[in-house]
Amino acid sequence: MDPAVHMTGALDPRGGWVAEECSISRALEVIGARSTLLILREAFYGTTRFADFASRAGLSEPVAAARLRELLSDGLLELQDYQDPGKRTRQDYRLTPKGAELFPVLAALMQWGDRWLAESDGPVELRHRGCEQHVAVQLRCAAGHEVDSGELDLASGASHQARSVPDAT
């Protein structure tokens, strides 16, 4: 509570984040639908086949098919040939690098849901292989400092005026 807002400048509302130029807005055009993120969740959980996507994401086949098609054409998934020994060649859905780099979005959503919406700690945990420690999403600057929300400035790319992010922690 008690939002400590430290203005360090003024970010012009027309300074480039509204509507189409905004990367958040653009990202939402691609993954804005709920079903899209559920499909991606399954892809990160290791699902590769059509029927599994539909049933595990809890979607009807037509919806799953539509989303998978979009994800292919947006380059987040790709079809890959595989062959079970003694069977004919088939195809399954694999994450591309573009799709795989969405993982922090899902991880951040999961972390927030675990914190604010789950009874316990949430049913799925992320761990660092080898070290086995819990993995969290965090903000860190290029100098290596962990940054909390009170220390963030927003800068518009053009003007490089800065404004702080409202802090409510």
Partner DNA sequence: CGGCATCCTTAGGGATACTG
Partner DNA sequence: CAGTATCCCTAAGGATGCCG
30-89: which residues touch its own copies (CB under 8 A)?
Answer: 30, 32, 34, 37-38, 41, 43-46, 52, 56, 58, 80
CB neighbour list of residue 77: distance below 8 Å, 6 or more residues apart: 43, 68, 71, 93, 94, 95, 96, 99
Q: Which residue has the tokens 């996507």?
A: 53
Give the residue from 144, 124, 143, 126 showing the smallest Cα distance to 135.
Answer: 126
**Coil/strand/helix, residue 2:** coil
Which of 61, 121, 125, 148 lies at the binding interface for DNA (CB under 7 A)? 61
Judged by beta carbon, residue 69 or residue 145, the one nearer its own copies is 145
Give the C-alpha separation, 98 to 96, whole Å.
5
Q: Is 101 in the site for its own copies (CB under 8 A)?
A: yes
Q: Give the nearer residue to its own copies in terms of CB position, either 1 or 73.
A: 1
Classified as helix, coil or strand, 161 is coil
When the beta carbons of 66 and 105 are compared against DNA, the nearer one is 66
Nearest to 152 by CA among 139, 169, 138, 136: 139
- Judged by beta carbon distances under 5 to 8 A according to partner kind, the member of DNA, its own copies, none in contact with residue 159 is none
User: Shortest distance, CB of residue 22 to its own copies, whole angstroms?
Assistant: 7
Counting contacts by CB under 7 A, is residue 78 touching DNA?
Answer: no
**26 part of the interface to DNA, by CB under 7 A:** no
Among 11, 67, 71, 164, binds DNA (CB under 7 A): 67
Single-letter code of the amino acid located at 76: L
Taking the complex as a whole, the smallest distance from the CB of residue 140 to DNA amounts, in Å, to 31
Q: How many residues does the chain have?
A: 169
Is 136 a residue that touches its own copies (CB under 8 A)? yes
Residue 34 in contact with DNA, rule: CB under 7 A? yes
Q: How far apart, in whole angstroms, are the C-alpha atoms of residue 92 and residue 78? A: 8
What is the contact surface with DNA in residues (CB under 7 A)?
A: 32-36, 49-52, 58-63, 65-69, 90-93
